[in-house]
Chains A and B, each alone.
Chain A
Amino acid sequence: MASEHSDPTADDTAPGRGSAVPVRRAPGTVAGGEPPLALKILVAGGFGVGKTTLVGSVSEIRPLRTEERLTEAGRGVDDTGGVEQKTTTTVAMDFGRITIREGLSLYLFGTPGQDRFWFLWDELALGALGAVVLADTRRLEDCFPSVDYFERRAIPFVVAVNCFQGSRQHAQEKVARALDLEPGTPVLLCDARERESGKRVLVELVEHASRLHTARLLA
């Protein structure tokens, strides 16, 4: 069976990456008003860190399926033995919508945890407003790849330390130092199960993104 999404770079024609592609095309506008606006926030972090919980605590959550070609999925992975026969695989991710007002929505995407689906991130990250990197102090190293990814692409992100019951509550500065974060990157403690806590994380992220956005405009 053939696969969709044979080439992730095909989406590069979409606005983003700082290109000057005109975005307000006539066919996309809604009659009699501004075009509806959608913004995208990614929730990243290691496996089992609470991404699904966080997305679910602030929005109505649903699984989203994408079909991907395994030649892409296996890219950069040494151990692909035994899967050569299969051409496509289904990747599921968490997906939530927050309606700010009519015509303005926020979409949350929980990034697939496994390394072999990294290529999927490029599509997700394209044009993202920012990202939440969820961290677990017991396995802090699990979020290194996410931190690296967003730093390299200059995508605004905050690190939210999910405080599991019984886990040591590291001071935020210690986490920032351990992750070698760039100065100014917010680190906050959260409880992904709590709606208020999840909201606070998102607010912090949008404020951070807004500050960086303003700084870029002034630069």
Chain B
Amino acid sequence: MDDYPFPPQGWDPAPGWDQTSGWDPPHGWDQQEPVEHGDDSRWYDDDAGPVVRPYALTRGRTRTAGEPFDLIALITVDPDHPAHAGAGPYAPVPGLTPEPAAALELCRSRTQSVAEIAAEFDLPVGVVRVFLGDLLDAGLIRVSRPVSPAQLPDERILREVINGLRAL
């Protein structure tokens, strides 16, 4: 387990956490009076929202500064980034939260579109766009913007598509 020191580097301990003895909560922390809610303040079912709001994964950010990612923009790992250098097991990138890390792993095996990543992790497209923006800023991925049909270089591609469909 030496590969995964606990607590991890850069970890911000919660109040009451002691590095040596562990959890040492303030006295009386579990003796609080239950908070009374008026009936108006109760939310049920869908009104209460999902257990984890999707954008909690992006620390509340709903968009990135850069150009938005198209649904079929293709994501490949940036081979120039040290994290992707060499063969062998994939070295986890420090500081990455689980979802972007898993997305990165997915892109490492095969080029993925934004839509595929969202569908794979059952996350809203907007959330995926935000963390892909982070990965791009960090130089971990490359993005290939879609080519509109009007900009296709020649008929060859469409012919290939037709033949490919027939061969399915």
A contact set with B: CB distance below 8 Å: 1-6, 10-11, 13-18, 23-25, 27-31, 35-40, 58, 62-67, 90, 95, 97-98, 100-101, 103-107, 109, 123-124, 126-130, 195, 199, 202-203, 206-207, 209-210, 213-214, 216
**Number of residues from B at the complex interface, CB < 8 A:** 53
| A92 → B minimal CB distance (Å) | 10
In the complex, the chain B residue whose C-beta lies closest to that of A37 is B147
Is there contact, CB below 8 Å, between A36 and B144?
yes
Please determine whether A206 and B53 come into contact, CB atoms closer than 8 angstroms: no
B70: chain A residues within 8 A (beta carbon): 11, 14, 126-127
**B143-168 vs A, Cβ < 8 Å mask (1 yes, 0 no):** 11111111110010111111011101
CB <8 Å contact, A38 and B113:
yes
Q: Spell out B's residues near A (CB within 8 Å).
A: 49, 53-55, 60, 62-63, 67-68, 70-74, 76, 79, 111, 113, 115-116, 118-120, 122-127, 129-130, 142-152, 155, 157-162, 164-166, 168
Candidates A37, A90, A97, A127; contact of B157 at CB < 8 Å:
A37
Question: Could you tell me the distance in whole angstroms from the C-beta of B163 to the nearest C-beta in chain A?
Answer: 8
Contacts of A39 in B (CB 8 A): 72, 146, 149, 157, 161
10 contacts between A and B (CB under 8 A): A2-B60, A23-B151, A25-B145, A30-B76, A36-B74, A36-B111, A64-B115, A64-B118, A104-B164, A206-B162
Interfacial chain B residues near A28, Cβ < 8 Å? 74, 142-145
Contacts between chains A and B (CB distance < 8 A), count? 178
Contact B124 A100 (CB under 8 A): no
How far apart are the CA atoms of A107 and B71 in the complex, in Å? Answer: 10
Cα(A23)–Cα(B129), bound, Å: 19
Residues of B within 8 A of A58 (CB): 168
Q: A90's contact among B62, B124, B146, B162, by CB below 8 Å, is which?
A: B124
Contacts A14-B145, A31-B79 given; does A105 touch B160 at CB 8 Å: no
A64 and B63 contact, Cβ closer than 8 Å, known pairs A27-B142, A40-B72, A104-B164: no
Q: A100-B164, A127-B148 are in contact. List 9 more A-B contacts (CB 8 A).
A: A4-B129, A23-B148, A28-B143, A64-B119, A64-B125, A127-B70, A195-B168, A210-B158, A216-B150
- Beyond A39-B149, A210-B159, A213-B149, whether A97 also contacts B124 by CB under 8 A is no
By beta carbon, the residue of chain A nearest B151 is A23
The distance in angstroms between the C-alpha atoms of A67 and B127, with both chains bound, is: 9
